[in-house]
Amino acid sequence: MKNKKNILVENIFSMVTLRGLEYLLSFLLVPYLLRVLGPTNFGAVAFMQGVVVYFNLFIDYGFNLTAPRALARCSKAEIPLIFSTFMWAKIILLFVVSIFFCLALWFISLLHIIELDWHLFSAVYISVVGNVLFPIWFFQGIQQMRYITIINIVGRTLSILCIFMFVSSENNYVLAAFLQSCTPFIAGIFSLILIANKFPGILQKPDLKNIKTAFSEARQIFVSNLAISLYTNTDIVLLGILTNNTIVGYYSGADKLLNCIKRGISAINDAIYPFISQQFKLNFSNAIRFLKKQMFVYVLGGIMGGGIILIGSPIIIPWLLGSKYIHSILPLQIMAFVPLIVALSNIFGYETMLPLGMEKIYSRILLLASVLNLIIIVPLILFFQENGVSMAMLITEIFVTVTMGILLWQKHILLRE
């Protein structure tokens, strides 16, 4: 039987390996798509992916955090009940949210508020179905991250190979979006087959009482996720509405490169979350010591990495993306230290506040950040376009991290041993 420390190391290794391979594949794919599709068509894809994020946000609700926590704390006999509860809840939301949002988008397009490319939307929507089918939360909760690594890499590799084979011109932007969306869909099919083999009969009949309880427990997390989306995803949608797809392409060029780093950080946080939730319950002092060590590593790596991005952007952007994306240099420089800031806020919020039951405070901080972002984003876009979105992102992330840090310091949580 593996002890908890070995399980944690294995999970972190699995998730970091996954993100490392994803980074390598993205390092090949993102520059290729940026060059082949050009700023305008790549911007169109990025804009539509930003729209579809709202589908995933409402379908995920807060289950991405409450489901792993419930699984991490349950007995083996309770696993089928918990899996069924959250799986049925997400399936219900898939139908309700899809109908509501599609009608809303149709109405908005009739009013000519945005020009909606329905072929592109349909291609990107495949990822919504895939995210429901691929229960990452389940593997995270049972602390078997290696399955996520294997399944995700298989799906992503197949998708990327098809992109290199069939996407060769700007006119293939819908096909490029479709093939990218196939990654979670393929991974979802493989994962459900694996789960059915390892846990026969795991999907039970829906229990409306348990589903209602799951919705109730995840409400605060959903509010938090909605608040985060208001200042991470809404910005790119507003940029597309207030400017054009080319400007969105310039910003997305910088944002996609930074996302490679942020995904690596998120992978570590996802692997640690079930472990730290247990540690806070079993030994508070050990949990705090662990978080302090993690913080030290993040700060050291973040300062070095941010410095490289800040100084090296004028070389990195033309080399990776080509001369068409010169306008992506300044946005990347502005956001150079955002990964470090986000890493610290994840420790303060995701790994400390949530395991300690501070969901309401966590949500309020993120809601305040969303309000701040909504106040500054429109004038910044109007005056500085793609650079303005980068400024808004930096300001908002600093606000979140500093506010969480001050609150935990006032409560003497991270000061305790």
Q: Which tens digits make up the pLDDT trace of 70-99? A: 887 777 888 889 999 999 999 999 999 999
Distance CA 108, CA 299 (A): 44
How high is the pLDDT of residue 1? Answer: 44
What's the whole-number mean pLDDT along residues 351-364? 86
pLDDT digits (tens, 9 = 90+) for 265-309: 777 777 787 778 778 878 888 888 888 999 999 999 999 999 999
Does position 3 have pLDDT exceeding 60, yes or no?
A: no
- Tell me if 401 sits within 8 A of 337, measured CB to CB: no
Instruction: Examine the pLDDT at 5 and tell me if it is beyond 60.
Output: no
Environment class of residue 323 by beta-carbon count within 10 Å: exposed (0-12), middle (13-18) or buried (19+)? exposed
Is 416 a domain residue?
no
Average pLDDT over residues 253-268: 79
Measure the CA–CA gap between 266 and 153, rounded to whole angstroms.
17
Question: Which residues constitute the domain of residue 213?
Answer: 4-410
pLDDT-based confidence at 153, cuts 50/70/90? confident
* For residues 39-58, average pLDDT: 88
pLDDT of residue 332: 94
Give the model's pLDDT for residue 17.
63
What one-character DSSP code corresponds to residue 325?
G
Question: 394: buried, middle or exposed (CB in 10 Å: 19+, 13-18, 0-12)?
Answer: middle
Note the pLDDT tens digit of each residue in 374-388: 899 999 999 999 999
Say how far apart CA 1 and CA 252 lie, in whole Å. 46
Model pLDDT, residue 417: 55
Q: What's the rounded mean pLDDT across residues 41-48?
A: 89
Phi-psi region of 38 (alpha: psi -120 to 50; beta: other; left: phi over 0): left
Distance CA 155, CA 182 (A): 8
Asked if pLDDT for residue 2 goes beyond 60, the answer is: no
At residue 18, does pLDDT exceed 80? no
The reply to whether 250 falls in a domain is yes
State the helix-helix crossing angle for 245-282 and 4-60, rounded to 10 degrees. Answer: 130
Q: Is residue 358 part of a domain?
A: yes
Which tens digit of pLDDT belongs to each residue from 174-209? 999 999 898 888 888 888 888 888 888 888 887 889
Residue 411's SS3 state is: coil
- Report the share of the chain in percent with pLDDT over 70: 91
Please give the helix or strand (H or E) that residue 12 lies within, else none: helix 4-60
Distance CA 252, CA 259 (A): 10
What pLDDT is stored for residue 264 in this prediction?
A: 72
Distances (CA, A) of 220 to 75, 214, 382: 25, 11, 33
Mean pLDDT computed over 120-131: 92
Residues 309, 329 contacting (CB under 8 angstroms): no
Residue 220 in any domain: the answer is yes
What region, left, alpha or beta, does residue 412 occupy, with left being phi > 0 and alpha being psi -120 to 50 degrees?
left
Domain presence at residue 53: yes
Q: Spell 108-125 as b/e; 16+ CB within 10 A means b.
A: eeeeeeeebbeebbebbb
End-to-end CA gap in the chain: 29
pLDDT at 260 over 60: yes
What value does the mean pLDDT take over residues 127-131?
A: 91
**Confidence band for 172, pLDDT divided at 50, 70 and 90:** very high
Q: How many residues does the chain have?
A: 417
Exposed / middle / buried, residue 5 (Cβ in 10 Å: 0-12, 13-18, 19+): exposed
Number of domains the chain contains: 1
Report the pLDDT value the prediction gives residue 87, as an integer from 0 to 100: 92
Q: Per residue in 52-65, pLDDT tens?
A: 888 888 998 888 88
pLDDT, average across residues 152-160: 82
Asked whether residue 156 is assigned to any structural domain, the reply reads yes
Q: Is residue 178 part of a domain?
A: yes
* In a domain? residue 74: yes
Report field, pTM of the whole predicted structure over 0.85: no
Instruction: State the Cα–Cα distance between residues 290 and 279, nearest whole angstrom.
Output: 9
